[in-house]
Amino acid sequence: MDRYKVAVITGGGSGLGQAVALRLAEEGVAISVVDVSEAAGQETVRLVEEKGSKAIFIKADVSKAEEVKYYVDKTVEEFGTIDMFYNNAGISGPGVNFVDNTIEQIDLVLGINLHGALYGLKYVLEVMLANGGGRIVNTSSTAGVVGQATVGTYSATKHAMVGITKTLAAEYAAQGVVVNAIAPGTTETPMVREYKEKNPEAFVNATEPIPQKRLGQPEEVAELVAFLLTGKAPYINGVVVPIDGGFTAI
């Protein structure tokens, strides 16, 4: 019998990360749930185990390289390898025009969304390359493919996810690593709800520019991520897949 596959999910305690964890659990994938919130992460572990799969929680601040290396090492110690990586942890920022950001706000978003994502890719790739390959999905955003006001630093980090996705696909395809990114539109996650509470004016007529006239659901994004991670289309490599109700199509 083949061993179970192993996935690492950052930001796995809520939102897209939790939805992906639960969807992969339905495929029998063992999940390493990485989050800064122990309560949220443990809740995801509980829900994964309810679906009959294996899971562990690892608390980590992804903006710190040593904590990223720790979650990678801990996953390998527990499960033996890493087959899939959903590189997802992120924050939105304050929701103001760029010059109104403080340096501390810029550094915070860069630390989690950019540095944390790059650290994760470095350390996970080392494991995948040593073990014959793997599949990676990076979370970008519609703000990573088009300009959107009041999310400048966030947008910069999400554009960076597009660039690193294409670069890694070019560098490591021959070694069995497949790297893609997703670009979700506004999706009803806890992060979006918090942003809406702080910036209600940004959500006036929020669905008007979306051809489907609604926000996305985490479960819809999870289906796409699971499709890419579980290898159902291994020739899809180095692309950014929008999932936004048609927002970036017009």
Q: Decide if 70 is catalytic.
A: no
Q: Is the CA virtual torsion 32, 154, 182, 215 positive or negative?
A: positive
Instruction: Report CA-CA distances (Å) from 45 to 32, 33, 38, 124, 168.
Output: 8, 7, 10, 21, 30
- Reading the block at residue 82, the tokens are 């890493």
Angle at 187 between CA 185 and CA 190, to 5 degrees: 140
Question: Helices (DSSP H) in 92-189: which residue ranges?
Answer: 103-109, 116-130, 152-172
Q: Which amino acid is at 2?
A: D
Q: Which of 86, 119, 123, 154 is catalytic?
A: 154
Distance CA 170, CA 177 (A): 10
The residues that are catalytic are: 154
